[in-house]
Structure 1
Amino acid sequence: MPDVSADGSIDSAAKRKGSLCQQVANSEGNKKTRYSRLDLPEEIWCHIHSLMAFKDAARATCVSRAFHRSWQCHPNLIFCIGILGSNFINKFDRIVKKHSGIGIKSVNFEYDSSYNTRRSTSISHHFDSWLHIAITPWIEKLSLRLSHYSYNVEYNLPCTILSDGRASSMRHLYLGSCSFHPTINLDLRSLMKLHLFNVHITGDELGCLLFSCYALEWLELEHCDEIVCMKMKTLSLQYYCNAVYYARVESIPNVPNLETLTICSYHEIPKDSMEDDSIFGDSSNMRQMQEYRHDNLQSVVITCFCSAKSLIELTCCILDCTTSLEYLTLDTTRGVYSCSTGKHSQCFPMDKAMIPKANRAMLAIETYIERKVPSTVKLNVVKPCPRCHISES
């Protein structure tokens, strides 16, 4: 039997003797060929098919009866506009409806309406049926990525997609540029990594989503602007990224296994609401939560750090409640890229209005935080660049 590599390619010897798919078609047509020995058990075909790259696997399905059968239990489904082209809906329908749903391990679905503007307003009606086929009790990874710029695609992921044990084996969930409003407790007992990007979800709904995530280790939130405040149950997080401004003191106490915390606040710095909460306006009655311990926390990065009282409280809480902290980075810039690395000629731009805010942030660090930093912790304060930021302002 010719060798099939992990990316789905067939070795040169097999190519000289004829394609594998042609051999299968001949053997199934009861034609006597020198490759009749390829009449293999179906589980072998399924295994060979699973090793192919997705595009090659789909092509093999079209020309081989054996692969057509094995496609019904192909474990990895990858659908993106770049692979399927502009006639996305028809091709997607044909591919998904030929799959039995049995044995699916991974689903990666990417859509960008800029490739198919005529269909973009109606495609959301097809999502539910596709996901109902793709999401089964065997699935371990789901990635639903709708283009950040596809504002005319409004898809609300139904809770039923992930209920009734359908997602009980899911370990990784990525949702991008959609709405998700869970009102029931979902069975996500195996979920270890959750990443939400530009998802319309409230803090209470996120709490409902996390309620059954007993195994969660990685939580990453980006541009989930409807979350005002988060209160989470006890989790075993090891990585908590992009908690933004709503990651107040009450967000962290219940994650004792947390090892890495990254807080970004790109959109909040220019807002006057955070300046109204400045530590310099009222430094009294600062909240303390020393009854919670974070003895596994080793690295903390806060980007777009400002003088907001809530951020000062959060930083002090981290310093007071950790014993294993090694690195604390307080970045008063946007933290995207810097000329100091040598990879860029200029730093990422900062609004002129952000310069005085960054200066107040540095003063707050000197006044309230530096004295709390133990000698075992390396404090890194990132200031506006004197060449790229200060000179421009």
Structure 2
Amino acid sequence: MGTPQVSYGSVASRSETTKGKRSRSLGQQDLHEDIWCHIHSLLPIRDSARAASVSRTFLRSWRYRPNLILSEETLGLEQIACGEGDIARALTDKIDQILKNHSRTGVKTLELDIFGCRDLDTCYLDNWLQVAITPAIEKLTLSLPSKCQEGYSFPCSLLFGQNGGSIQYLHLTRCAFHPTVGIGCFRNLTELYLGYVRITGQELGCLLSNSLALMQLELKYCSEIICLKIPCMLEQLSSLTVSDCSMLQMIESQAPNLTTFDFEGDNLVQLSLQQSLQVNDVDMQCSEENFLCYAITKLPYMLPNLESLTLSSSSERVNTPMAPAKFLHLEYLEIYFDGDPSPGYDYLSLLSFLDASPVLETFVLRVHQFNLKFDSIFESASHLRQMPEHKHGNLKDFSIFGFCSAKSMVELTCHIIESATSLECITLDSVFDQEDDDDLGRCCLTSARKTGACWPLSDEMMLEAHKGLKAIERYIVGKIPSTVKLDVRRPCSQCHP
């Protein structure tokens, strides 16, 4: 009886084949799980949490979900038929449970909107932030209740060491924020927003000096900043917005690549933009008297390379003077009267801005009429002033929103029609709208969607709107060249018959 021959090679081959099949099967399973996890991560957070209760794959995905956007809306609490306190408690409980389940999982994004939780116990906040702020965090947004503005201080100690190094976006609203010299390096921070935040200029300077990648800085209602200094080391900073910082007296920027500057405030501050050659887009709103005079006499020297300029004034008591220098590169100009100028204000004096802007292509004038006190064209139409020496060869688009029967406004319009040889389009709207959209009727504007109607107009405003239309028909329509498109906008026939 012969000895059976055993082929060890064939046995090994079958074993390897079986192992290979099992490996491929596990690999496919992992791939399928990765796909399901990706799909799960795209679900809204409320649906994501629900799905976690019916699938172990989704449960694992939920526990490691990196992006958490938590608010009444995303957690489905806004439609609960119960009292405000019950909603706040439900929101607190849900957020607390979610963040406890995500402890040590590497949250990348935390957006926490709990503005409605007026009775929030701030100890919850510290616990939640301790969970979220790890070396993995990239985006942190906190919108806190009003009481936190005075009674809650952001725990800056959580940002020491490596924890702040990964943050790219930091958005804080209604709290105190006191970074110190020992704070960590925000080497990846590109966008910083502070709204209703108690922080001093020196503390903000500590933060900025450690944020060399910063590209956008926005400060709103930060009432403890007196002097804002932007160091020259912020070479990536391109956009600076400062709004309603009531104690602010000075803005000094040495950022070499700043291109966009927005300012809003009751009073003018001292501006020192030493490296301002790159600034080409400016929006300034100021309640200080005769702000347009300041703008036309100072800005050409401070910001010589402006291409777009928006100015909002609420108190013009004198006519706009001639400019001592020119905006040599200005292509877009928008002037907004957010309040009645003096009854004797001469809109024709705005030609000073056009004369100072030799390459201007678009001029937009918005006039929010309140008291309607001015010299009407129908009361003194005997003589319309002409300015033949003023030419505007590059102007293509001219608009007035809130067109009225003021004689000087009619004179301004007639002059531009006659002197702007490249004019293509004129828009005259007899009603001032907060927003305008060429493709939408007034009732469809964003500002009117909540009520389904246009903004209400007083009888006096309605009467003036029709006077403005009559002035357009009598004094302007006949002067329009055939090459120029005239768009005359009337009050809404549905809401203001």
Question: Which TM-score bucket, shorter chain as reference?
Answer: 0.5 to 0.7
2:155 aligned with 1:174: no
Question: Aligned partners of 1:152 and 1:223: how far apart in 2?
Answer: 11
Q: Secondary structure at the match of 1:329?
A: strand
Task: Give the equivalent residue in structure 1 for 2:114.
Answer: 111
2:41 alignment partner, one of 50, 60, 72: 50
* Secondary structure in 1 matching 2:172: strand
Counterparts in 2 of 1:112-191, with a 5 A limit?
112-113=115-116, 116=117, 120-122=119-121, 124-147=122-145, 149-150=146-147, 154-184=151-181, 185-191=183-189
Deviation (angstroms), 1:220:
0.8
Closer/same/farther in 2, CA of residues 374 and 88 from structure 1, 3 Å limit: closer
Q: In structure 2, what is the Cα distance between the partners aligned to 1:152 and 1:288?
A: 28
Q: How far is 1:210 from its partner?
A: 1.1
Distance 1:315 1:305 in 2: 16
Retained in 2: the 8 A contact 1:96–1:130? yes
Do the aligned partners of 1:220 and 1:242 also contact (CA within 8 Å) in 2? yes
Pair 390,229 (structure 1): closer, same or farther in 2 beyond 3 Å: farther
Paired with 1:58 and 1:38, the residues of 2 have a C-alpha distance of 26
Contact 1:247 1:263 in 2 (8 A): no
CA apart distance, 1:66: 2.3
Note the C-alpha offset of 1:247. 9.9
Cα–Cα, structure 1 residues 371 and 49, in superposed 2: closer, same or farther, change >3 Å?
A: same
Task: For residue 252 of structure 1, report the CA deviation from its aligned partner.
Answer: 4.0
Q: Which of 70, 76, 83 matches 1:79? A: 70
1:66-113 per-residue CA deviation (whole Å, 9 max, x = no partner) reads: 222222321101111334432122222221111144342211101034
CA distance in 2, matches of 1:387, 1:96: 48
State the alpha-carbon separation in 1 of the partners of residues 104 and 296 from structure 2.
47
Call closer, same or farther: CA 1:56–1:88 in 2, change over 3 Å.
Answer: same
Change (3 A) 1:137 1:316: farther
Q: Which shifted more, 315-324 or 88-97?
A: 315-324
Residue 376, structure 1, aligned to residue 329, structure 2: yes
What is the letter of the counterpart of residue 204 of structure 1?
A: Q
1:221 Cα shift?
0.9
Higher relative contact order (CA 8 A, sep 6+): 1
Deviations 1:295-353 (A, max 9, x none): 221111110252599x98898665324443112222113xxxxxxxxxxxxxxxxxxxx
**Structure with more strand by fraction:** 2
8 Å Cα contact 1:96/1:133 also seen in 2: yes
Deviation at 1:46, TM superposition (A): 3.6
Any conservation in 2 of the 1:104–1:139 contact (CA below 8 Å)? yes
What is the RMSD computed on CA atoms of the aligned residues? 3.5
Percent identical among aligned pairs is: 32
**Correspondence for 2:306 among 325, 337, 347:** 325
2:253 aligned residue: 253
Deviation of 1:63 (Å):
2.9
2:301 aligned with 1:303: no
Partner of 1:91: 94
Q: Secondary structure of 2:193's partner?
A: strand
Q: CA deviation at 1:387?
A: 6.5
Distance 2:295 2:103 in 1: 49
- Secondary structure, aligned partner of 2:219: strand
Distance 1:153 1:313, change over 3 A: closer
The corresponding residue for 2:321 is 366
The change in CA–CA distance for 1:238 and 1:366 in structure 2 (over 3 A counts) is same
CA shift for structure 1 position 162: 2.0
3-state SS of 1:242 partner = strand
Q: What is the Cα deviation at residue 224 of structure 1?
A: 0.8
Hey, what's the Cα distance between the residues in 2 that align with 1:126 and 1:53? 24
Q: What is the rounded CA distance, in whole Å, between the counterparts of 1:315 and 1:138 in structure 2?
A: 48
Aligned position for 1:262: 262
Q: CA deviation at 1:263?
A: 0.1
**Contact 1:299–1:325 (CA under 8 A) maintained in structure 2:** yes
Unaligned runs of 5+ in 1: 1-35, 278-286, 334-357
CA deviation profile, 1:169-205 (whole Å, cap 9, x unmatched): 2111110111111123332111111111111111111
State the secondary structure of the residue aligned to 2:73.
Answer: helix
Q: Which has the larger radius of gyration?
A: 2
Matching residue of 2:207: 209
CA pair 316-99 structure 1, distance change in 2 beyond 3 A: farther
| 1:387/1:48 CA distance change after superposition, 3 Å | closer
Mind listing any 5+ residue stretches in structure 2 that lack a counterpart?
A: 1-25, 78-86, 341-366, 375-497
Distance in 1 of aligned mates of 2:110 and 2:201: 27
Q: Deviations over 1:262-283 (max 9, x none)?
A: 0011xx35xxxx7xx9xxxxxx
Say how many residue pairs are matched: 305
- In structure 2, what is the Cα distance between the partners aligned to 1:262 and 1:142? 24
TM-score normalised by the chain length of structure 1: 0.67
Distance 1:247 1:293 in 2: 24
